[in-house]
Amino acid sequence: MKETRTDIMGMPITVEIAEPFATENDLRSVFDYLGAVDARFSPFKTDSEVSRINRGELKGTDYSPEMKTVLKLAEETKEDTNGYFDILRPDGKMNPSGLVKGWAIFEAAENLRVAGFQNFYINAGGDIEARGMNYSGQPWRLGIENPFKVEETVRVVHLTDRGIATSGTARRGDHIYDPHDPKQKLSEIVSISVVGPNVYEADRFATAVFAMGRAGIEFLEQEPGLEGYMIDKDGMATMTSGFNEYTHD
């Protein structure tokens, strides 16, 4: 059972459950959860908790448990990436989007697992949690798009019980910055895809390593459990030593 919706998080979201007892309600539960996360954390919705915090309407003691969790994870990620991940923008306002999407996809996947499902994937704008196998009993086949021609696929990865996330400029333009040098335009690379033990780990590191520029792929090489595929401004690809483990071509 499979469904795609485009009315949440401003991007297409696809959920596919490769088990015969799945129902429309099971799919709807994923979309409802992701919609609730978007309503709370979107910096673009004026009534979201993030927007209220940015306007100074909420004190730390008034933050929701979910907000406190995400802020704690953001601090951990900032430390884990040597400061290359920071949810505070140069204007002092908070934007946790670089972490929240992967976290939300992972939590939605955990909800499906608790409900008894083992074989499914959740894809939100190219950030994907792949659990178990597809209908054919094979790992999920997921494409990395060409940042210069997004309708094309440059590599296919085969994942089971893993996550993948891509950061880049192909669809959203220049929206990532280097926290250490916010005014410096990031132009050396155009896309970096990270495979991790789950989509949360992949997503939080993908944002940071993109901000590192060419050094990002070297950072990933040293991180246990993470592999990466980088495309630079000239269309040249560089990958970590273990990335081919997930490709069959």
8-17 tens-digit pLDDT: 999 999 999 9
Query: Residue 175: which pLDDT band, with cuts at 50, 70 and 90?
Result: low
Structure letter (DSSP) for residue 243:
G
Average pLDDT over residues 77-87: 95
Confidence of residue 180 (pLDDT cuts 50, 70, 90): very low
CA distances from 63 to 59, 97, 202, 230 (A): 7, 17, 26, 37
- The reported pLDDT for the residue numbered 169 is 66
DSSP E strands, the chain: 2-8, 11-17, 120-124, 127-131, 140-146, 149-159, 162-168, 189-196, 227-232, 237-239
Q: pLDDT value at position 114?
A: 98
Residues facing residue 118 across a β-bridge = none
For the cut 50, the answer to whether the pLDDT of residue 173 exceeds it is no
Residue 183 has pLDDT above 70, yes or no: no
Average pLDDT across the chain, whole number: 92
Mean predicted confidence (pLDDT) in 178-190: 64
pLDDT for res 14: 98
Inform me whether the pLDDT recorded for 110 exceeds 60: yes
Per CATH, the homologous superfamily of domain 2-246 is ApbE-like domains (3.10.520.10)
Domain ranges of the chain: 2-246
Report pLDDT digits (tens) over 48-69: 999 999 999 999 999 999 999 9
- For 115, residues 6+ apart whose C-beta sits below 8 A from its C-beta are 26, 29
What the block records as the tokens of 220 is 């990933």
Q: Which residues contact 119 (CB under 8 A, 6 or more apart)?
A: 17, 18, 19, 131, 132, 133, 134
- What pTM did the predictor assign? 0.94
What's the pLDDT at 188? Answer: 83
Number of Cβ atoms within 10 Å of the Cβ of 14: 16
Contact in structure between 243 and 228 (CB atoms under 8 Å): yes
- Distance, in Å, from the CA atom of 221 to the CA atom of 73, rounded to the nearest integer, reads 22
Mean pLDDT calculated for residue range 211-230:
95
For the segment 214-233, the average pLDDT, to the nearest whole number, is 96
DSSP E strand boundaries for 25-119:
none
